[in-house]
Amino acid sequence: MGCFCSKDVRCKPGYEEPIVLASETPFTVNEVEALYDLFKKISSSIIDDGLIHKEEFQLALFNNSSKHNLFADRVFELFDIKRNGVIESGEFVRSLSVFHPNAPEADKISFLFRLYDLRQTGCIEHEELKEMVMALLSENVVSLSDDVVESIVEKTMMEVDTKKDGKIDEEEWREFVKKNPSIIKIMTLSNLKEITLQFPSFVLDTKVPD
């Protein structure tokens, strides 16, 4: 299938046609084109090679290109579906789609579980949960003593680990989120519905109707 590009854009590695991505995600064709416009801005911020590198990702989404942050690194890893150290435009759109208001709740729950499953073992252990809590606190510039963090982690483990085996599996995680739906609020970015208003150029130039 040929690569669709607007007249002022050259095809880049990993580029996929908007109509294909729209058919596989909650985004419309217009929104996919607008997201590609955003992708280009991010991917050219440090290295202009049509790919998003970790430094560019952190700078754009976390306003931080120098400070190591586990949370930022983990999100980058999940967006890097091919696990080749960079994010291509198709990966960018597909990964962002889970944050769309119309994305299935099950996908949001699964993404958040994988975010916390740092060792990718299929379960969240005490130390993984603690590392992520500390990373999230750091990202939000919140400082708590180690004792307080440990107390939060232990209380959470006691509540979620219903099988009492010292770890949280995906089934336990789903049940926990069902009882505490506010946990996945961070998995919905309402402004994704308004993406075409933020980047209108691609809407005006779209070659494919929604």
- Residue 38 inside a domain? The answer is yes
- pTM (predicted TM-score): 0.81
Alpha carbons 53 and 80: distance in angstroms, whole number:
10
Mean pLDDT of 198-202: 40
The two three-digit tokens of residue 152, written as one number? 């939060």
27 and 55: one domain?
Answer: yes
CA distance 201 to 203: 5
Answer yes or no: are the C-beta atoms of 190 and 197 closer than 8 Å. no
Is residue 8 one of the residues assigned to a domain? no
pLDDT in tens, 64-120: 555 557 778 889 999 999 999 999 999 999 999 999 989 999 999 999 999 999 999
User: What's the total number of domains in the chain?
Assistant: 2
Q: Residue 58 CB: number of other CB atoms within 10 A?
A: 20
**96 shares its domain with 197:** yes
Is the domain of 119 the same as that of 45? no
Same domain assignment for residues 135 and 158: yes
131-138 mean pLDDT = 84
Are both 132 and 195 inside the same structural domain?
no
Residue 195 has pLDDT above 90, yes or no: no
Q: What residues make up the domain containing 175? A: 105-187
Is the pLDDT assigned to residue 168 strictly greater than 70?
Answer: yes
Residue 206 has pLDDT above 50, yes or no: no
**For residues 73 and 77, what is the distance between their CA atoms, to the nearest angstrom?**
6
Identify whether residues 80 and 145 lie together within a single domain.
no
* 60-64, 70-74, 131-135, 172-176: least confidently modelled range: 60-64
CATH number, domain with residue 47: 1.10.238.10
